[in-house]
Structure 1
């Protein structure tokens, strides 16, 4: 259909005109654009996905975080079509229990009865809080939570292909007791301890590969010294004495 007089004005402010959503979803039809060029889709809540299918899944891993953190909140992004509102707009979210392995009250806290978009906004988020102690600790495995958007008095949920999202969460680590006990980890850090490991990871921005890489440069004198200083700081934070082998090695630098 040719309509050369139609202009999609989303994202452009002009002449004091109030505009609406700047992003069209696949389900929005041309009849949502009026003859004077305005986008007038009904107000509807949806998840905005890119072209990559993996956008439909939010992946979170908490294994490297300090032990003191027992809960984690994922802020799930949402958008709505239609005109901007000067008042908050409510929408609902439900759990698809058949498509989820995570259980309410065990893996995550109950959802609110409804959530709202802030006034004067086309974008928003809603929080989902996960309980760390119940999450999968095996590397490569996750607990999953599938969420579905539902209509409210303020917003429809008209786009079936855009009203569902999955969150995959775990508390896993690449480190295992077997790796620890058969490498230099045991020599420098003593007995295997997740608390010890996670504390040391804080000095490497929770990056397991960055910490692992330190063990590949034990021939670099200056780098080894900085590594030993990080180990010493981690053990001080834990209130534990340094392993004798590490203390002796560090003292060689301080003579």
Structure 2
């Protein structure tokens, strides 16, 4: 638990706030005393934030309205968790789906970052944390639309880390493994189909591939965001932190992840 002194007076913007990881990040920041402005395409009934802004980050018009809504409010921390899963084997790629994966997972994130960059510079302790994916560093079959977009964001985070270091802004990324969110459910079904497993056994199969034999809790990803957003993380920039239960360190060639 972070002390309220650490995040008192800190203003944060979190995209993808309605999702599993985004919601956990908002909760952690809110509980630590930060002011949280949440962004997603559709507003949930409630959430751990002071303000919610409906915004499609792939839309230039929506991004402009978001900038107007923020007005002259200061900004200390930007956490980009917005993401969308699109998969297909080579030869069956839907290129509109490919473009959407890039629009959400990379281009929209970077455009929003540009929109708020001056506010982050003005804070004197700007922090940017981008949620990427372990798939950005792995050659998982059928993941090309999603993983290549996340890989682009991973490298852009490194570039921005170096580019903005002199302005006092840190830029880091987090690459989660398989996280306990609704996005993981289709993977369980896919494993059952691929390996002819009984219904309901896909989860156990997936967990068996992970050295820790469990999925990542969204709160564990949020805890890493909190560290990178804190003063203690001030000397870390251009870094990618993998939170995957040891999966990418143990991933063997030939293992088909579905």
- Structure whose CA Rg is larger: 1
TM-score range, shorter chain: under 0.3
The alignment's TM-score, normalised by the length of structure 1, stands at 0.24
Structure with more of its chain in strand, by fraction: 1
The alignment's TM-score, normalised by the length of structure 2, stands at 0.24
